[in-house]
Each structure stands twice: as C-alpha cells, then as structure tokens.
Amino acid sequence: MTMAKTTTSAASTPTPSSTPTPSPTPAPSHTTPNSVPAERRSAELERRLAQDPSRFRVLTGDRPTGPLHLGHYFGTLRNRVRLQELGADILILIPDYQVLTDRDTAERLGEYTDGLLLDHLALGIDPARSTVFNHSAVPALNQLLLPFLSLVSVAELGRNPTVKDEIAHSRQSAVSGLMLTSPVHQAADILSCKGDVVPVGLDQLPHLELTRTIARRFNERYGNLFPEPDALLSAAPLLLGTDGTKMSKSRANSIPLGATADETARLIRGATTDADRRITYDPDNRPGVSSLVLLAALCLERDPHAVAAEIGDSGAAALKRTVTDAVNGHLAPFRARRAEYAKDLTYVRSVLRAGNERASAIAEATLDEVREAMGTFR
C-alpha cells in the first residue's frame, strides 16, 4: 500500500557517518504451523521492499525501561538503519506509557529516553529521514484506543499468548488493565500512522495478528481506512545474557551498547561458560559458550565455527578475551559518536520534539478520518 508522506522538520547538526547496514537475513528456520503464513508474507514483503521501499511506512520501537544492549543491536537496531537506507519511511516509537504495562512506576524515564535517542543517532538514524517520537506526546494516538477496544472481546485479549507470558512475568502485584489491553494499545501505535510494515520476532506475532484483526473489523464496519500491516520477521540469532538465559534489560544480564570498554570486559569475564576447556560452537549442548562464540563471530563478521576452532584448547579465559576485543573493537566507532551526541543533549531532545510534531500531525489526521467514518465528527 502506498503511504502518504509528510516531511519532517528536525534541527540540523553535523551527522557522523552511519554504521554500515547489514544485508537482509533469510527467514527464520524455527517454524511452527501458525507462523508459516507470516513467514511467507515476510519473505514477499522483503522482496517488495527491495523493489520500491518508498511505498512502505515502518513502525518500530523500544520501551524506555533500561539501556539498549547487544541483543537489541543485532536483533533490530541495525535493521532499522538498513530500512532507512533503503528509503522506507521509518517511525520509531518510544512507548513511555507502556512502561507501566508490567510495573507500578516509570522509573528513570527521562534518562532512559535520552539513552534511546543517543543510541539511535549514534547508529545512524537520520532525523531528516526517520521520525522518533514518544507515546505521551501524541494524544491522538491514544484516543484511538477507545474505538479499537470496541472491536475486540475480553476473551480474545485473555487468549493472547504474549499477554499471558507478560502476566506470568509481571513485576506488578496485580494485573493492570493496561497489561490486558496492551495489544490494542500497540494496534493504536501502528494504525495511527497507517503503518504497513512492523519488524517483529515470532513471539510478537500474536500482537500483530490482533492489529490486523482490528484493522479488518474497522474497515468492515466503517469503511476501508486502514492497511492490514505485515510482519517483517527477524532472523537474528539469539544471544544469551551473561547468566546463560535470554539477554534482557530486566534480568541484569545484558551488555549495554553504551557501556565503557572496561565495563564490557568486566561483564564478559562474568559470563557463564562450562568445564570443557576445548571451545566449540554447539548451541544445543553448550549454549553459554556458543553464545559467546557467536557474539565474537558477529562482531568480527566471521563464521562461529572458525572462531571456535581458532581458540581451540585455550579455554574459557581465552574465549572471553576474544569476545571482549571483538565487541569493543566493533562498538568503538558507535561509542565515539554516542559520546559526541551526549555533549549536546539540547540537540538530541530537539530531535524528539520534531519527531513528536510530525507523529502528532499524522495521528491527528488519522483520528479525523476515524471520526468521520464513525459519524462522530462533523
């Protein structure tokens, strides 16, 4: 679907050269019966993006709940820069309201928002070509939540497997209404800008399927207004945290992008390995060791089996030195750019203000169309 364009107005400043963007990765191989149609659509979407990227509007983002880490970097962040460089219209949401989905207070919100902005700018997100905005600054987006809630049932929300997992791991003493309705809030995020491409992992497909359902039901009831957005599935490799479980901001097991070289070395030294001195790449049987090997391979742009063979019988200490050198070497240019941007937070915050203005204009236009279609606006 061809998306209407709005020119963004951002303050100008010398922009450092961006990080080289990776080529698109193949579709994930860990399929399930329910994911096969989405994977087929994702492959077709990647083909169409390569042919005419300017036709597409991409909505993506991260909750400001802590520093972004290497899992985010290899999983999603580099892909955002790639899509920008292709020429797609990129909107990056900082969903500050959704911080309250699984916690009682939005702690250190300003600090984490600044950090997200710094990371994206240092990676090569260009405010002249991509829009960064936050939830609370776009009232029209949040007004869409009410009509969208009328299009889904409580039972449908309760069956959502992603919501079930969030409830199981919630930091709240009781499940909030925001947690139960978070998939509808995400639908408002996407449909407020009529986004038709949403980069996600397989675990987020239920949320996006509900967005597609809401768009379809609205169109059937009130007239054809919304695209049914497609998932652009990530085939990024899984990086484990330093404790051997999934790398996560909330588990204190990640390696932040903005960490210093010394902090990175300390975190990697504490990473979980095993008693076998010979280093091999065997993710099924040696997940901790293999995740470290993979991290080094990704940073060095080498095959993980070759990296493991090179370390051989030198043991875990040698592996961790290799990983530390690889990570610090790979991130050094990014960290230098980030430090430069951090010297001018006035400019960094002006990027968000300009993005909020553009996102508000888009969402307000969509809300006016919704009111017109529903007969509530004259």
- Residue 352: predicted pLDDT: 98
Instruction: Assess whether pLDDT exceeds 50 at residue 85.
Output: yes
Check if the beta carbon of residue 316 is closer than 8 Å to that of residue 271.
no
pLDDT band of residue 34 (cuts 50, 70, 90) is low
Q: How many angstroms separate the CA atoms of 135 and 121, rounded?
A: 19
Mean pLDDT of 145-154: 94
pTM across the whole model: 0.85
- 3-class secondary-structure state, position 160: coil
User: How far apart (Å, rounded) are the C-alpha atoms in residues 201 and 81?
Assistant: 17
pLDDT of 261-311, one tens digit each? Answer: 999 999 999 999 999 999 999 999 999 999 999 999 999 999 999 999 999
- Distance of CA 322 to CAs 114, 258, 264, 311, Å? 31, 20, 12, 8
Burial class (CB in 10 A: 0-12, 13-18, 19+), 365: middle
Alpha helices in 93-204 (DSSP H): 109-123, 139-143, 145-149, 154-159, 161-168, 177-192
- Over residues 92-112, mean pLDDT: 84
The pLDDT value recorded for residue 172 is 64
Closest CA to 186 of 204, 205, 207: 207
Residue 204 confidence (pLDDT): 81
Q: Count how many residues are written for the chain.
A: 378
pLDDT at 107: 82
CA 160 to chain centre: 20
**Amino acid 36: pLDDT:** 81
Q: Which of 16-25, 352-361, 368-377 has the highest mean pLDDT?
A: 352-361
Confidence band, pLDDT 50/70/90 cuts, at residue 173: low
Task: Fill in the amino acid letter for 245.
Answer: T
What's the pLDDT at 7? 28
- What is the mean pLDDT of the segment spanning 247-264? 89
Helix axes 205-222, 345-374, angle to 10 degrees: 40
Q: Rounded mean pLDDT of the chain? A: 87
CA 269 to chain CA centroid, nearest Å? 27
pLDDT of res. 18: 40
CA-to-CA dists, residue 221 to 147, 187, 344, 373, angstroms: 12, 17, 49, 9
Q: Tell me: pLDDT of 2 over 60.
A: no
- Closest to 89 measured CA to CA, from 120, 123, 51, 126: 126
Out of 14-28, 96-110, 309-323, 350-364, which region has the weakest mean confidence (pLDDT)? Answer: 14-28
In this predicted model, what pLDDT tens digit does every residue of 191-240 receive, in sequence order? 999 999 999 877 788 889 999 999 999 999 999 999 999 999 877 777 89
Of 163, 166, 341, nearest to 248 (Cα)? Answer: 166
For residue 140, what are the contacts with CB-CB under 8 A and spacing of at least 6?
A: 192, 360, 363, 364, 366, 367
* Dihedral, 115, 120, 124, 129 alpha carbons, nearest 10: -130
